[in-house]
Amino acid sequence: MNIPGTDALLGTPVSIPERGVANLSRRGLFGIGAGALLLGTMVRTRPARAQGEGMAAVAPRPGTQVPAFLEIRNDGKVRLLSPFVEGGQGIATAMAQIVGEELDFEPANFIVDCAPPGADYLIVNGRRLTGGSLSVRSSYATMRQLGATARNLLVRAAAARLDVPEGELTTEPGRVIHKASNRSLAYGELAEAAMKLPPSEVASLRDPATFRWIGKPVPRLDARDKSTGRAQYGIDLTVENMLQASVVHAPRLGQEPGAIANEAEVRGMPGVHSVHKLPGAVAVLADSWWRARKASEALNVTWAEGRHDRALPADFSSAGMLATLRAEKGAGSPAEESGNLAAAFASASKTIEAEYDAPYLAHAQLEPPSTIARFNGDGTLELWMPNQAPEVFQELAAKEAGLDASKVKVHSPILGGFFGRHFTYDAAAPYPQAIALAKAVNRPVKVIWKREEEFLRDGLRPMGFVRFKGAVGADGMPVALQAAAVGEGPIGRYFAANAPVDPSMVEGIAGKPYAIGAKRVDCVKLRQPPVIAFWRSVGHSMNDFFYESFLDELATAGGKDPFEMRLAMLKDSPRHATLLRAVADLSGGWKRGPFDAEGGKRARGVAMASPFGSEVATIAEVSITDGEIQVHDLWIAIDPGRAVNPGLIEAQVQSAAAIGLSSALLEEVVYENGEPQARNFDGYTILPHARMPRVHVKVVESGAALGGVGEPGVPGVPPAVANAVAALTGQRIRSLPMSKARLGSA
């Protein structure tokens, strides 16, 4: 038996229900429906545009309508409306590569913007979201075909214009060529006629052997704008006549604003327009954001207990939550089961047990959330807001505004980091406030959350707790492994409240590739009161730390080298064994240590992970100085099947290594009395430049199905570091972040 993880769930095609969400109650949004909404399952299927003449309008297959995606312009540029939002992962560049390869158009000459909501863009297995490391692998075939279809239209338009057979025409980037007559036409000259032609169902694709851009490290399209301050994020946008809003939220989720003792005084502060009570917050509108912020901080608000569905108990603490998880000894439901566990333990030569935990985490993306809301004269509502799922935000915004979704225009600006932050978690986005305020004052309103409000209302990576029991046989090799993951994950909360197993709780523990005679992984569901969220690599972000650390504990119990033991356990899994050897080669050959190096003793640790359709092997080299872990090098081999842009993949692995290390060493959201204790980066530490190790990346192309690249680099880092620390000090870290551990020097 095997339960799929987040990846299998998000990566599976879904049928889109032929109904909207307008009738869901607010409470319903918190049930199973919320998950569907969160990730865009239940978007209504409106026809993109009427097809044919006299026939009923039929919705075309998403991803097939060239004019919905491409504007082929006269200035030598093509504007691509991308189904995906660019937030640093480089998806805009990847889309230009893939479409450009088949269209025959230089990727560098694309302008890529995120498409508005629309049925044409539901190409992520029938949904639309930017997440789950799904973008390229879910859309690769669709976007190639789209480019080929567009090229075919241009060639046919040229055939008509030049009055020659299609077969005599070729293309070179941006032009259709008629060699025989030495004539050529720019795409821009043909676009208008081409878009009027019926698209061919069978426009042929390029032979991959002739690819010029796919598979190459094509430079990012946004590199210059992002190095000169020209790139415009949501927080940078303005609309005419707008007011700016700063909000103060209730310190504890679920409280509501009561009396404001000094409202008149605040209203008299410079630039202040008005003061507004909102659900769970008070807002000040002013003619500049700083004036709004200053006034909002002067407010003297009495917060009253409310009746919020997700109200946090006044005594909620993260320490108490961990104690509750530890105390839960229920059996749970099996997520993976093979072999005869009881017999394996009975005949084993050594059995060990261990408990592991990981804390709540914040996304801590550098751009604070913002939203601009504007009600237009034609009855529409226009929104500029950070989001990873435009149709979902459109539906929810329409509900907030009391409008039909068709009246809500959503702009999805580039994101100043996301990491899972910008789905529709409860009370975690400013758009409902912007809508309410714009309605109240009959003017456009821009809401910016100051950093302290963001730390107060960010959705959290859940707390994790796993209980392990494992055994080795007479030869020292693992013969039995039992794990119970206790808690709650975002898939369970938002998608499958009633399912016995929450895949996001067990991914990275169930489904590991190692040959072990008897295995059992149980999912023990226990509700966590805070708003929980997807966070880069989801359950893998901690579960591979738990599992790969415990696997090293088994190696120690059996007197085995952890690398050689893994290799032996993967002898029937060539893809994994190859990758493990590749990372060892990348690091100059496996050596565990401790060994002498510049500045003292060092050691190395190894870990593997199978996240989001890719495979990853990681080695870390560490030393300890004054009780603090120093990570000198990370070697990461990733096998995403094939590489569409090796440059972007390496950048994503560097980035994933940094956030993985940050979570391993430093990060922890602490709650006391229902409130997060850190409200800014002085209290919530993320990896600084000084602690960034060298990161060596090898992209291995096994030829397997395309896997994700944005998240997979994360999960191997914490266990590789923990295993290196154990090799160096003999101390096993079973609780994150590692900064809590008191480490002796080597």
Partner 1 sequence: MLELNINGQTKQVDAEGDTPLLWVLRDTLGMTGTKYGCGIAQCGACTVLVDGNATRSCVTPAESVVGAQVTTIEAMESDPVGAKVVEAWVAGQVAQCGYCQSGQVMAATALLKATPKPTDEDIAAAMTNLCRCGTYNAIAAAVRQAATA
**Residue from the set 233, 320, 345, 666 that interacts with partner 1 by CB under 8 A:** 233
Kindly tell me which of 34 and 714 has the beta carbon lying closer to partner 1: 714
> Segment near partner 1 (CB under 8 A), from 65-73, 365-373, 468-476, 543-551?
365-373
Rounded to whole angstroms, the Cα distance separating 345 from 478 reads: 10
Q: Output Rg (C-alpha) for the chain, integer angstroms.
A: 27
Q: Could you please report the per-residue DSSP string of 379-404?
A: S-EEEE---S-HHHHHHHHHHHHTS-
> Segment near partner 1 (CB under 8 A), from 102-110, 445-453, 524-532, 615-623?
445-453
Kindly tell me which of 574 and 688 has the beta carbon lying closer to partner 1: 688
224 binds partner 1 per the rule CB under 8 A: yes
- Provide the token pair at 75: 């200035």
**Residue from the set 90, 254, 332, 737 that interacts with partner 1 by CB under 8 A:** 90
87 binds partner 1 per the rule CB under 8 A: yes
Minimum distance between the CB of residue 681 and partner 1, rounded to whole angstroms?
4
Kindly tell me which of 70 and 687 has the beta carbon lying closer to partner 1: 687
Interface positions, 14-53, toward partner 1 (CB under 8 A): none
Kindly tell me which of 371 and 482 has the beta carbon lying closer to partner 1: 371
Site string for partner 1, 531-570 (x = CB under 8 A): ----------------------------------------
Interface positions, 272-291, toward partner 1 (CB under 8 A): 288-291
Nearest to 539 by CA among 599, 489, 588, 574: 489
> Letter for the amino acid at 192?
E
Torsion of Cα atoms, 299 then 301 then 306 then 312, to 10°? 70
In terms of C-beta distances under 8 Å and separation of at least 24 residues, what long-range contacts does 205-212 make, across chains too? 205/102, 205/144, 205/145, 205/148, 206/101, 206/102, 206/148, 211/101, 212/101
Minimum distance between the CB of residue 377 and partner 1, rounded to whole angstroms?
25
Q: Which helix (H) or strand (E) holds 740?
A: none
- Provide the token pair at 360: 């709540």
**In the chain, helix, strand, coil percent, each to 5?**
35, 25, 45
Minimum distance between the CB of residue 80 and partner 1, rounded to whole angstroms?
19
> Letter for the amino acid at 499?
A
> Segment near partner 1 (CB under 8 A), from 132-140, 142-150, 350-358, 408-416?
408-416
> Letter for the amino acid at 333?
S
Torsion of Cα atoms, 200 then 201 then 203 then 205, to 10°? 160
Minimum distance between the CB of residue 498 and partner 1, rounded to whole angstroms?
35
Any idea how long the chain is?
A: 746
Minimum distance between the CB of residue 538 and partner 1, rounded to whole angstroms?
17
Kindly tell me which of 367 and 426 has the beta carbon lying closer to partner 1: 367
Rounded to whole angstroms, the Cα distance separating 524 from 465 reads: 10
Kindly tell me which of 340 and 680 has the beta carbon lying closer to partner 1: 680
Interface positions, 663-692, toward partner 1 (CB under 8 A): 680-682, 686-690, 692
365 binds partner 1 per the rule CB under 8 A: yes
Nearest to 135 by CA among 93, 106, 104: 93
Minimum distance between the CB of residue 689 and partner 1, rounded to whole angstroms?
5
Minimum distance between the CB of residue 137 and partner 1, rounded to whole angstroms?
19
Minimum distance between the CB of residue 363 and partner 1, rounded to whole angstroms?
8
10 binds partner 1 per the rule CB under 8 A: no
244 binds partner 1 per the rule CB under 8 A: yes
**Residue from the set 5, 63, 416, 558 that interacts with partner 1 by CB under 8 A:** 416
Q: Could you please report the per-residue DSSP string of 168-194?
A: GEEEETTEEEETTTTEEEEHHHHHHHH
Torsion of Cα atoms, 527 then 528 then 530 then 534, to 10°? -90
Q: What is the contact surface with partner 1 in residues (CB under 8 A)?
A: 87-90, 219-220, 222-233, 235-236, 238, 244, 270, 288-291, 364-368, 414-419, 448, 450-452, 647, 651, 654-659, 662, 680-682, 686-690, 692, 694-695
